[in-house]
Amino acid sequence: MNGFLYKHPSTILASDLKTLLLNHAVRSSANIVTAAEFPGLNTLGMSMARTDIDPYDVVLPHSHPRASEMMFVPSGSVLAAFFDTTGKLFQKRLREGDVFIFPRGLVHFIMNYGLRLATMFSVLSSQNPSVVGITHAMFAPDSDVVEGWWPE
């Protein structure tokens, strides 16, 4: 049905419903966990992610063609933004405890505007949301946009 083997309810264990894959910070990167890595997500139509961003760093523009994303900020402060299909920019500064929604398939990015590591947890509305990055397609790999656009 969804590309993963069905697990009969009588064979499900408590360990299938817990993961340690989002416990640790992955500096200036996102870690998406799908049903392939976390059996408890199988058939639920969702995946999860943890994103940790160093001060003045950015998660480059990307989209998830098969999922909307709901992002929660437990620590730090970030600027979350996306472009709608007409090119209009929607952006909001988020602080600890805030939640922001990225609609399915729209290009979005996140910037840490604080002085310490920012951490976000996301739930995506697909078991396999996919990630499509656009930065390397638009800019040379050694450009300021890709290597570190933030002014010194």
Digit-coded pLDDT (tens) for 49-101: 999 999 999 998 999 999 999 999 999 999 999 999 999 999 999 999 999 99
Domain total in the chain: 1
* 39 located within any domain: yes
* 6 located within any domain: no
- The whole domain housing 33 covers 27-94+105-147
CA triplet 142, 148, 152: central angle to 5 degrees?
125
Report the binding-site residues for oxalate. Answer: 64, 69
CA triplet 79, 85, 86: central angle to 5 degrees?
95
Digit-coded pLDDT (tens) for 13-51: 888 778 887 887 766 667 888 888 888 888 788 999 999
* 12 located within any domain: no
* 90 located within any domain: yes
At 58, give phi and psi (nearest 5°): -145, 145
pTM: 0.80
Report the binding-site residues for Mn(2+). Answer: 62, 64, 69, 108
* 4 located within any domain: no
Q: Which of 104, 102, 126 is nearest to 35 (CA)?
A: 126
Report the binding-site residues. Answer: 62, 64, 69, 108
Residue 82 belongs to a domain with what CATH number? 2.60.120.10
Do 119 and 38 form a contact (C-beta atoms < 8 A)?
Answer: no
* 70 located within any domain: yes
* 5 located within any domain: no
